[in-house]
Structure 1
Amino acid sequence: MAIEVITLRIYPRGKPIRKLPGDIRIAPNALAHELYDALSRKSGYSVHRFRITKGSNGSLIPNGSETIYDTGLRNESVIHVKDLGPQIGWRTVFIIEYLGPLITPALFLYVLRPYIYFNFDKPLPEPSYLQVLTAILLTLHFVKREFETVFVHRFSSVTMPARNIIKNSAHYWILAGLNIAYWVFRPDPSAMMQEPNPFFLYAGLALFVGGELGNLNTHLVLRDLRRPGSTERGIPRGIGFGLVTCPNYMFEVISWLGIYLVTGLNWSVLLFTVVGVVQMMSWAKKKENRYRKEFGERYKQKRYFMLPGIF
């Protein structure tokens, strides 16, 4: 490359960006993340708020290790810079999402019990064996989720728009937290105050334990496919991957079916599970398509994305 430094013309896309320069000079062999860093310094915005695309075709310039020259940018090329707004880390998002249903069982079962169920006959009966057991299972499930968020998961995207945190958290805080807790921990016979059905109880516990361990194993496999600090992935192999594209979703469903049986087929648990299955089906199909595109002939295509023999 004969030109040691090139000039890129900068145009904001969407709302104006304060202090964004009209152009920037950069070496063709500089890395793309250096372009993001330079614009961050000049504008005072975090690099995670930027989406930079080529003016020629609108393609994304990733914030990574590809060189400016390899992205196709040349002297006097135009780039569009969009402000994505305030961002929040994905790890923080998951911690907040799971915190609601993590603390809700204990609150409903003990601390808030006399206030939530104030219209029931007094004195309120003590929580039943099944209610306490369900609270333990729910707590263990979301403690595991928080543990994986902090120590296991490696995120391909660093941040998301902060405004989405309420939408993302609603599913867990409302359906897995308030919905399940209110109906499962009610102090009346229809809400698990009767003697447990032995088949439902032991089958449910077996499914829960198997689902949780299988899900954790899948997450460990997926983590080891991506080097720390990298977004590059390998082809996943191991328990469940020979059956479906996303065994983590499969084991997640198995675990919640276990909770459903333990609660004596409580409809609130089924509602949360069904809504989750619908969402995971969409994610699983997209992941299969991404694997096929990313790995080509090296990837053994799956017939089922999430549930063997079903989907």
Structure 2
Amino acid sequence: MAASFFLRFIFPPPPSLFITGMSVISLTSLAVTGFSEVKGKHLQYSKFWNVNPPNNGRKQIKVSSKTGMLILYTPAFLAGLASFVLFQHQDVRFLLVDAALTLHFFKRVFEVLFVHKYSGGMILDSVILISLSYFLSTATMIYAQQLTQGISEPPVDLKYPGILLFLVGTSGNFYHHYLLSKLRGEREREYKIPKGGLFDSVICPHYLFEIISFLGISFISQTSYAFSFTLGTIFYLMGRSYATRRWYLSKFEDFSEDVKALIPYVF
């Protein structure tokens, strides 16, 4: 009964061990990483770049935040761009998924080059791990979509609501990144409490809109892999936002307890 209900909203899972395995790996690894953030074991970027030093004596390699973030997003952007050439003559849904993923990572590269202001750095181990995750998830989502070619559409078509969610999420994410960039002058490096937009209600509205963006991509795609990756992303960003709120509470005496982590008035 439950399976037949969900099949109204997704394509039947393809007979592909690779896609099945990647669905499980993406969901599990992202959820575990989100739980690790809550427990204080952070991926080392942004305000957590210099935490969790190794206890095995191995020297950590640091790169600048700008260089690290370009490495994070460029391979996934190029994967999306290349798939327009590799997978030609596909249906509208495939083109929409590919376009959304490519635009998502193009926006991130654009923000790295022209919007973000930086302090600290990034640890290369975290850079490689996150970059590989973005690249593999993007390539896998595109491949999973390609496998749906010629298969009957799900009874409930979600791609148009998905386009709306993607545009809202992308716009909201960009706007709050822009607000973050205006907090500090060119030579300022210290962190400040963000203000404006939804920052007065939650400390990570940019994460909230990123989730909305990926929900939009999942609705456009309607594949089991897209929904698995998005669910994993939700778990990770919940953990990361919880850790971020805890960090602000520890650093700023005037940080309001009423400001939630991710969802206004709820979490």
State which of 93, 97, 100 in structure 2 corresponds to 1:134.
97
Paired AA for residue 243 in structure 1: S
SS for the counterpart of 2:63 is: strand
Post-superposition CA distance 1:5-27 (Å, at most 9, x none): xxxxxxxxxxxxxxxxxxxxxxx
Asked if 1:231 is matched to 2:189, the reply is yes
TM superposition score normalised by structure 2 = 0.70
Q: Could you tell me how far 1:303 is from its partner in structure 2? A: 5.7
Q: Residue 272 of structure 1 aligns with which residue?
A: 229
Q: Which residue of 2 aligns with 1:204?
A: 162
**Residue 259 (structure 2) pairs with residue 300 (structure 1):** no
Q: Which structure shows the bigger proportion of residues in helix conformation?
A: 2
Structure number with greater Rg is 1
Aligned AA (1:277): I
Counterparts of 2:117 and 2:108, CA distance in 1: 14
2:69 maps to 1:94? yes
Percent identity, aligned pairs only, is 27
User: Does 2:113 align with 1:174?
Assistant: no
Unaligned runs of 5+ in 2: 1-49, 51-56
**1 or 2, which has the higher strand percentage?**
1
Root-mean-square deviation (CA, aligned residues, Å) is: 2.6
1:100 deviates by: 2.0
Q: Distance in 2 between matches of 1:305 and 1:196?
A: 36
The alignment status of 1:243 with 2:201, answered yes or no, reads yes
How far residue 214 of structure 1 moved from its aligned partner, in angstroms, is 0.7
> TM-score scaled to structure 1, two decimals?
0.61
Q: How many residues align?
A: 212
1:165 maps to 2:121: no
Q: Which has the higher contact order (CA 8 A, sep 6+)?
A: 2
Structure 1: 5+ residue stretches without partners: 1-50, 52-81, 114-124
CA deviation digits over 1:100-126, x for unaligned, max 9?
A: 221223433432x4xxxxxxxxxxx82
CA contact (8 A) 1:108 1:185 kept: no
Shift of 1:140: 0.9
CA distance in 2, matches of 1:258, 1:295: 35
Task: Tell me if the contact between 2:90 and 2:149 (Cα under 8 Å) persists in the aligned partners.
Answer: no
Partner amino acid, structure 1, of 2:234 = V
